[in-house]
Amino acid sequence: MQKDLLLMIEEQKKLLKIQSELLQSKNNELLKLKEVNLHLESLSFHDGLTGIPNRRNFDESIKVNWKNAFREQQPLSLIMIDIDYFKVYNDNYGHLPGDYCLILVAKTLVSNIERPIDLVARYGGEEFIAVLPNTDKTGALFVAERMRKSIEKLAIKHEHSSIADCVTISLGVADIIPQPSDSIADFIRSVDNALYLAKQEGRNRVSYEGNLKIKPKQVTLSKKVANSNLKCSSRQASIH
């Protein structure tokens, strides 16, 4: 009788061990599945080419930061960036150098923001956008000009640009302390207008939303601009 009891206890121990191993294996599978899902979610919020946040990420970020700025009545700034004559660059140097140029510009723009709360995202094509919470006009213009200079210093060769012998960017800046009558759509439209003005005034420059005295669609862009003789560093980064 005692021997049978000992055998039963031994069998139960084996069963418990098997159950414990199965449970641990299941937990490991769940953890791996969670890691995969997190990775996939991260990919959905990042641009496949440049690796920086994408348009979807920006859309979520601006909603959150808009609510915070409205609640706290603190300034919120946007910087919209466009690579000057990028289509011409792509057409003449090819898509692979064009992709590398986008990656290099994206990484350089990101390197110009220092706070975890700031965001630089690829907005679409050769356009990028930066969200700067708790930042007014002065701070946003400072960051924008730093971005402009950093891209110029890369000295990526662009012989087909009408304004320089290297890749440059144009930037529009807008800031706001959101009020009940304001909207995110109008805010984005204002920074887009500022970018348009930077292009109209000659590119490779920063324009502020408050400088707008015209409706952008009424302006005809000239093909040649005043600073077309700009020379970049002689240590040019050739990527083709």
| Confidence (pLDDT) at 6 | 65
**Average pLDDT, integer, range 60-69:** 97
* Contact predicate 174/191, CB 8 Å: yes
- Among 21, 29, 60, 126, the one annotated catalytic: 126
Which is it for the CA torsion 92, 96, 102, 103, positive or negative?
Answer: negative
d(CA 151, CA 171) in angstroms, rounded, equals 12
pLDDT tens digits for range 184-236 = 999 999 999 999 999 999 999 999 987 554 444 433 333 333 344 467 753 34
Q: Give residues with Cβ within 8 angstroms of 75, minimum separation 6.
A: 69, 134, 135, 136, 137, 175, 176, 177
pLDDT at 37 over 70: no
Q: Report pLDDT digits (tens) over 116-131.
A: 999 999 999 999 999 9
* Contacts (Cβ under 8 Å, ≥6 apart) of 13: none
The residue assigned the tokens 């003789």 is 229
CA dihedral 175, 211, 152, 103 (to 10 degrees): 40
pLDDT higher for 35 or 231?
A: 231
Is 126 among the catalytic positions? yes
pLDDT-derived band at 27 (thresholds 50, 70, 90) equals confident
Please tell me the pTM assigned to this model: 0.76
Query: Is there a contact between 41 and 69 (Cβ–Cβ < 8 Å)?
Result: no
Q: Residues 89-105: what's their mean pLDDT?
A: 97
